Structure 1
Amino acid sequence: MGKKFFSFVVAIFMLWGCSAEESGQSKNIKGMEATVVHVVDGDTIDVQLKDGRKERVRMLLIDTPETKHPRLGVQPFGPEASDFTKNVLYQKQVVLEMDVSERDKYGRLLAYVWLENENVNRKLLEQGLARVAIFPPDIKYLDEFEKVQEEARQSKRGIWSLEDYVHDRGFQDSPKTTGEASKKDRDGCDIKGNINSKKEKIYHLPDGQYYDSVIPEMWFCSEAEAENAGFRPSKR
């Protein structure tokens, strides 16, 4: 009887260990402890470290649809991804696990975010609220993440429920947020509104030097309308 009970206990622990490994959980995550103080969007959060410093963190190996992009606007499943991250992480104690790179070109920390031994990056993929985004050399969980993504794709969860929405560089523009769609809804409005790399809002008239090369975020029917929206005229 004692041997049978011992064998049963061993089997249970072995099964638990396999389940933890398959789900991406780990009891020995090494990283920085932090408190999530703000959720920017689905894959970006603000945290306060134990020493009091505040840092912006970009989750590694995933990409969620946009909610605040100056050109793309709000993409399908962007708000759902943002809400998921907020509900799961806001004001929670987390561990930030680094990979090879410490920061991206914007100065944000790059990390896998762990909450109570669960990888939140992975959870977003499971829910169909993120795609795998590969930026070597930070690929520690790539094989695992791609497997989870494929399961979500096969099940048509979230972003995978929309045909041809996900591509290698991100997500297709929502028809409601593209400049071309806006133009079709407003025939005769041919002034292009563009936001450049310096975040300057500039409008371009049809006879302007850069008009043909500009990809519009918005279309306007008059210069007054463009200026009321905060755009200035192009200098050429």
Structure 2
Amino acid sequence: MHFTRSFIIAAAILGASIPTGSQAQSLQGTAQVADGDSLSIAGLQVRLFGIDAPELDQQCFDNGAAVACGEMAKAKLASLIGDASLSCLRKSTDAHGRMVAVCRISGVDIGQAMVEAGWATAYRQYSEDYVAAEQRARASKSGLWQWEFQKPEQYRIAQQSKEEPQREARPPASTSSSLRRWQDQGQCLIKGNHSRRGEWIYHLPGMPYYNATRPEAWFCTEEEAQAAGYRRAIVR
């Protein structure tokens, strides 16, 4: 009887020490895809680290015609994974209790593959690991980059505030002064710069620090800069 009680106590202690759910450091198995950047393995929810895909109900626009790009991003992730077994390494836990992880199939980073194919953006707020992959996808107009679309994070904010999302990737023609082209003799004049804090900021001619700014990129319109992930410099 004493042996049985001791065995039960030891088993209980051992069981309590085994991480479960989002506390687990790694996870392996076949996956069920929820959308372009989230899935579940053995009932545990996983958010792919460092990427942001359109929400499932989000639409992109092809010359004004709606495109179900949220559903298409989900389909792309599902096709990449198929029936293969994923190996996921936990990076953190998000506000929804999901494991945030880098997931691979035979060593291939699925998150990077999604960004490289243009069906997700680099989630710069949390990582710059996939920025180069995003730039390649954007340059080749792959996936989402062939259309106008709202960056997923901005789309979520707009949905929460019940505002109409503003499309940024390829703004429609307008007479608004915001569409002014900053260009001289064929040279774009807006400077895009990466700050020491990791912020992507653009400077217009005449702004403070414009002349002292060393650009990583040049743009002809503010909309082009915003679509590339830059925000306007704050003038105080």
TM-score, normalised by the number of residues in structure 1: 0.48
TM-score, normalised by the number of residues in structure 2: 0.48
